Amino acid sequence: MTKTTNRKPNIGNEIDLLVNYPKTKRDVKERGATKTEADRAIARQFGKDFFDGDRKHGYGGYSYQSRFWQPVVPTFQDYYGLAAGSSLLDVGCGKGFMLHDFALLIPGLEVAGVDVSSYAIEHGMEDMKPFMQVGDARELPFPDKSFDLVISINTVHNLERDECGRALQEIERVSRGGSYITVDAYRNDEEKELMYAWNLTAKTIMHVDEWKKFFSEVGYTGDYFWFVP
């Protein structure tokens, strides 16, 4: 048999590693009815208004609460075998809340974070500031294969499709083999309607099957899961 050339790489596993993240009840239709394109434009600046301004522009106050990420860390730790000496990068780290809990619960873990928002980095958790920097997911400021695990939660979909692909390639480049992302997605027409109503910042939203094809096309081989409101 002749070997197939230019075969696209296999993508990773579809797995919900955020299964222990506390679920909040959302009134998706109400949010969709009140959000305007002006609100989305403000949110996409990822400044004070997005993190600590009015709820219609983002979080409505973004502060650390241990109940969110601490239940999640052991799931990642077990799945990827993280231990003292392992290294982790969070692309879209915000104020460093998840990084803080990873460093707290896995002593000796080497952490780093980048975020496009200078506001988030400037107002980040004090113990994480030495490990975070303003950075662009499309051009990560690290050498090839710098981290054992690269995580990006609800971040790369905030880019246009081509730029999103570039960010996925960058995650692939700086990872030694472990990576995990979550993106806005839908499985049917009802979820699609809700997703577009809920969305505030994402510029790339696709059906789950389209995402999988996209991962393969751009060469992303890491693990993944979906955010569906």
Question: Which CATH number fits the domain that encloses residue 149?
Answer: 3.40.50.150
In the chain, the number of structural domains is 1
Across 106-112, average pLDDT? 98
Task: Kindly report which listed range (26-35, 71-80, 154-163) carries the lowest average pLDDT score.
Answer: 26-35
Domain presence at residue 103:
yes
Q: Is 148 exposed, middle or buried (0-12, 13-18, 19+ CB in 10 A)?
A: buried
Can you tell me the mean pLDDT for 90-115?
A: 98
Is 85's pLDDT higher than 80?
Answer: yes
Check if the beta carbon of residue 16 is closer than 8 Å to that of residue 222. no
Task: Find the mean pLDDT for residues 58-68.
Answer: 85
Q: Is 31 part of a structural domain of the chain?
A: no
Task: For residue 5, name the pLDDT band (cuts at 50, 70, 90).
Answer: very low
- Relative to beta strand 110-115, strand 87-91 is parallel
Contact by Cβ (8 Å): 86, 117: no
Residue 21 lies in a domain: no
pLDDT one-digit tens code per residue, 29-51: 555 556 788 888 888 888 887 88
Asked if residue 17 is part of any domain, the answer here is: no
Domain-located, residue 9: no
148-170: average pLDDT: 98
Sign of CA dihedral 18, 163, 160, 188: negative
Among the listed ranges 18-32, 38-52, 185-199, which one has the minimum average pLDDT value? 18-32
Q: Name the strand (E) or helix (H) holding 48.
A: helix 48-52
Q: Say if 147 falls within a structural domain.
A: yes
Could you list the residue range(s) of the whole structural domain that residue 128 is in? 45-224
Residue 107 lies in a domain: yes
Q: Is residue 177 part of a domain?
A: yes
pLDDT (average), residues 61-90: 95
Give 2's pLDDT tier (boundaries 50, 70, 90). Answer: very low
Q: Cβ–Cβ contacts within 10 Å for residue 124, how many?
A: 23
Round the average pLDDT of the chain to a whole number and report it: 91
